Structure 1
Amino acid sequence: MSSLGDRAAALPRLAPLGPGAVAPGSGQHATKLSRSIYSGWVAEVLRESIVDGSLAAGTPLVEMRVAEELAVSRGPVRSALHVLEGEGLVRTQPNGRTTVVGFGADDVQDLLRVRYELEATGIRWGVAQGASIAPLEIAFAAVAAEGATTPRLVELDVAFHRAMLAFSGSRFLMEAWQAIAPVIQTVITVGNQRLAAADPAKHMTRIVASHRPLLEAIGRGAAEEACALLRDQFGLTGSLFDGGRDHQGRGAGDEQ
């Protein structure tokens, strides 16, 4: 599990929390807040390690070992493992031990199929209702303004796609998408890292060029055209995880 320390260093969202430490404040409320904050960070570290294959299927996740590796107490680790089990990334065995389920190419394709159905439905319903695209335009402008491949760019990309679900006007469609959003964001993060490493000069241009025609199609009310563009976008994501296709030569329209 030596990779977790390196992964944590690459995700400096929070200062490490030593055993017994709590977030600023005092009392039970501060302790609960501390556990909540740091469990999210621990889940992010573990989730990315599982998605990119650093933690392979069958790897045991022992609370004490993970806590020591990440310099946190066991409480946030326990909470993070519960979250990851709900996402289908880890499994608790009958003997109480937690192991990694894994995340292979088939899992990526499964996730992308579900994601496509949800987001395409959001597009179709929003267009049918004549919903305003102003929130989508704002979200796209934020992506374009970022100007470089950064961790924030992934968050802005996810925010754009979240806006497509909100465009539908359906609370429960949004809730369904939100349930898998953390895994979606991690897949985009890992995919962006691989694309940026392969072609850093064109990566930002590729992202903007893939989202602009999608927004324009939605703005024209061309729902099926937009859905076809969305399907094309997800094609590259799958290729980045299947190990059997050359993604470096794909066009600018193939983005996540």
Structure 2
Amino acid sequence: MAGPSTPPESPFTPLSVEHASTVSRVAAEVRRAVFEGELESGTPLREVALAESLGVSRPTVREALTVLVAEGLATREPHRGVMVATPRADSVRDVCRARWVLEGAGVQAWPAADDGRRARVRTTLDAYTAAVRSEASYEELNERHLAFHVSLVELTGSLRLVQMAEALMDELRLALAQVERMHRNAHDEADSHGAWSRCWRRAGSTGPTARTPSCAGTSTTPRSRSSRRSGSNERMAACWPSCRAGRSPPPRSPSPHS
């Protein structure tokens, strides 16, 4: 006579919410330190040191670092391990050139865009402005800022163009965070982006001119397209020598709008 049958193992048995949450928390803490400038570009991310500091296991740290590498915030090199990524000036310039094409296409599509896509531009801009006014963390400012730029590309109605824009933002996020932290220019960014948005709203059905907010700040003073683009890219690229040399950015100053 056969013995009692063993119930089949649930496919969810291997899942561990607690472990996954721990990996996410470790990744979030290291990410925060990178955005806030506590961990500069080129800083080695040692598994043993991080595990001891955060009170977690080395495998947990290893998984968290894999997440950060996938996000482009860290790099993994043979025989050197994982370290905070160092944006390259030539790479950032190339990303900005690509963004100019994508966001320019979005702005040109404003007249034909539906109300939902236009509302998305206003909503993301409002969220970014609110984060600036509330002195949000650099990580949140970065997320809100880049979401606004993606919303411009969404005006085209092309899923592929939006996916391209999101991939470019992943490459740009660390560089932009360093610029915003070192120049403390988030209020200027929000004001200039708001000026462009108001221009588009006034343009109505005729549409705005083919001008998009720049990579690291834009002025409402009329300038040539090449001048605006070159100036913003150079400002973006100029920050990293000090980061690579290990010099910390100046502390955040009180908000002029507070």
Q: TM-score range by the shorter chain?
A: 0.5 to 0.7
Structure 2 unaligned regions, length at least 5: 1-12, 219-227, 243-258
Distance 1:99 1:36 in 2: 16
What residue is the counterpart of 1:135 in the other structure? 120
What is the CA-CA distance between 1:129 and the residue it aligns to? 3.4
What residue is the counterpart of 2:159 in the other structure? 171
Distance 1:182 1:73 in 2: 28
What residue is the counterpart of 1:119 in the other structure? 103
What TM-score do you get using the length of structure 1 for normalisation?
A: 0.61
Q: Within 5 A, what are the aligned runs for 1:71-220?
A: 71-86=55-70, 87=72, 89-93=74-78, 98-100=81-83, 102-124=86-108, 126-127=109-110, 129-132=112-115, 133-146=118-131, 147-151=133-137, 152-196=140-184, 203=185, 205-219=187-201, 220=203
Secondary structure, counterpart of 1:109 in structure 2: helix
For residues 182 and 44 of structure 1, do their structure 2 counterparts lie closer, same or farther at Cα, with a shift above 3 Å needed?
A: farther
> Contact conserved, 2:106 with 2:155, CA < 8 A, in 1?
yes
What is the CA-CA distance between 1:170 and the residue it aligns to? 2.0
Distance 2:99 2:211 in 1: 17
Taking only the aligned residue pairs, the percentage that are identical comes to: 21
Distance 2:89 2:45 in 1: 22
Aligned length: 206
Alignment pair present for 1:44 and 2:31: yes
Larger Rg: 2
What TM-score do you get using the length of structure 2 for normalisation?
A: 0.61
> Contact conserved, 1:218 with 1:226, CA < 8 A, in 2?
no
> Contact conserved, 1:61 with 1:99, CA < 8 A, in 2?
yes
Counterpart residue type for residue 188 of structure 2: R
Q: Kindly indicate which of the two structures has a greater share of residues assigned to helix.
A: 1
Secondary structure, counterpart of 1:77 in structure 2: helix
The one-character-per-residue Cα deviations of 1:140-182 (angstroms, maximum 9, x if unpaired) are 2333344254224443322322322322222222222323434
Q: Of the two structures, which has the highest relative contact order with CA contacts closer than 8 Å and spacing of 6 or more?
A: 2
Distance 1:208 1:121 in 2: 21
For residues 88 and 240 of structure 1, do their structure 2 counterparts lie closer, same or farther at Cα, with a shift above 3 Å needed?
A: closer
- C-alpha RMSD of the superposition: 3.7
Distance 1:205 1:90 in 2: 31
